[in-house]
Amino acid sequence: MSLYIHDATVFDRESGDLVRGDLRLGAGPDGDRELTSDGPAPDDTLIEAHGALALEGLTNAHHHIYSALARGMPAPSRTPRDFAEILELVWWRLDRCLDLDMIRASALAAAVDSLRCGVTRIIDHHASPNAVTGSLETIAGAFDEVGLAHVLCYELSDRDGQKPVTAGLAEHASYLASGRPGLVGLHASFTVGDELLAAAVDLAREHGVGIHMHVAEDEIDQRRSQAYHGKRVVRRLADAGVLDLPGTILVHGLHLDDDERGLIRRSPAWLAHNPESNLNNAVGRYSWESCDPARVLIGTDGLHGDVLRSARAAYLVGQEDGLAPQTAWNLLWNNQRYLEAHHPTAARRNDLVLLDYTPPTPLDAANLAAHACFGLDSRHVRTVIAAGKVVVDGGSLTCIDEAATMQFCREQARRLWDALERS
Ligand SMILES: [Zn+2]
């Protein structure tokens, strides 16, 4: 049984064209998507699109579900003065308090937020040093329940001692051995010693996957790399073999010199840009100079689930480099190309978003990217289809009782905040 979508304005990513027509989406994770004029078969489920804009389901290339219950949480004991203090006083305090129930609630909250924004696939980077074992399984289970595809990893770091490192390596090993799409996660060079770096690269090689880690998000990463390792971050990662692994994602990449930019450009590694997070942490601005724009991905870095909004932010922040709307728009589709290249089971062709977008100006293939930068927004999302199944219909989730789920999330947020106040 397939979904038959009648009369949509379909964006074809490969050709860049907008085509008014019908789509058939096969059911299940391997289901196909095809433009058709056959009309619905007797057992098809018919969806009338009334000309709605149809985009492929969106992908978030860098998310942290662990931050989903942080919204409105008690303020830290004092205002962080710099990036290191933001981590120490906010995020590392929070992630140490997480248990598996809170992780499940975080994953569900992030999933609901994402689906409403048309995001059907998430590449997550998770940390919960006192609840490592079973954390990836818990996130995968929550995402599966609501229909989200996922590429998961655990954020390994030496910042909390050996116990979470040992548990984290084992968690990766069992998760990746299960055959589900994943990466090997590392926090950032400045909290990862040489022994852990080598162990992570070995594990990634063994499973044929890449590394997912923050790189030069703040100057502290470079300062500590120079002080402890006598070289800059990307040179250190290149020497350790990180850049050559298939599907490696380097996140942020703000404080790079020419040598490092060259290393990244000549390697097969991808870079995940998180413009709103960079603004929020006041860590600097991504420079588009001498990068390969086809290997820049777009993520939200745990701030929210709306990757379309992040692409718009990339456009706005990129104006100092004269970034074109088309380059910002392409980021969304680079995310999808990344999945197709490295995690094909998460790339699902039958994920689709229908948006009720009726602009006051002409819309065509040539100006769609400009519409995305100045008008098209997640508030226009009407229907979201994941693996050939409607998961958001008229703005409501179909797979779960949303009110009960949000109640569960608020209970777990209260437990988390209480634990934070005691910490
Ligand atoms: Zn991040």
Tell how far the Cα of 214 is from the centroid of ligand 1, in angstroms. 6
Q: What is the mean pLDDT of residues 376-400?
A: 95
Q: How far apart are CA 175 and CA 187, in angstroms?
A: 18
Query: In which residue are the tokens 């991504």 written?
Result: 286
The answer, as to whether pTM is greater than 0.95, is yes
Q: What DSSP character marks residue 290?
A: T
Domains and CATH numbers, the chain: 3-57+349-397 (2.30.40.10), 58-344 (3.20.20.140)
* Centroid of ligand 1 to alpha carbon of 217 (angstroms): 9
Distance 24 CA to ligand 1 centre (A): 36
pLDDT value of position 290: 82
Query: Which structure tokens are listed for 259?
Result: 């040598």
Instruction: Please give the distance, rounded to the nearest whole angstrom, from the Cα atom of residue 72 to the centre of ligand 1.
Output: 19
Residue 286 burial (CB count, 10 A): 21
| Centre of ligand 1 from the C-alpha of residue 251, in Å | 7
Round to whole Å and give the CA distance between 23 and 3: 8
Least confident stretch, 257-261, 272-276, 394-398, 401-405? 394-398
| Nearest Cα to Cα of residue 47 among 81, 108, 109, 4 | 4
371 vs 364: CA distance, rounded Å: 9
Sequence-distant (≥ 6) Cβ neighbours of residue 306 within 8 angstroms: 113, 114, 117, 119, 300, 378
Structure tokens at 336: 């999808």
pLDDT tens for 229-286 read 999 999 999 999 999 999 999 999 999 999 999 999 999 999 999 999 999 999 999 9
Per residue in 134-188, pLDDT tens? 999 999 999 999 999 999 999 999 999 999 999 999 999 999 999 999 999 999 9
Residues around the ion ligand 1 (C-beta < 5 A):
301
Stated as kind and residue range, the H or E segment containing 34 is strand 33-36
**Residue 404 corresponds to which tokens in the numbers above?**
């009960």
Q: Within the chain, how many helices (H) and strands (E) appear? A: 14, 17
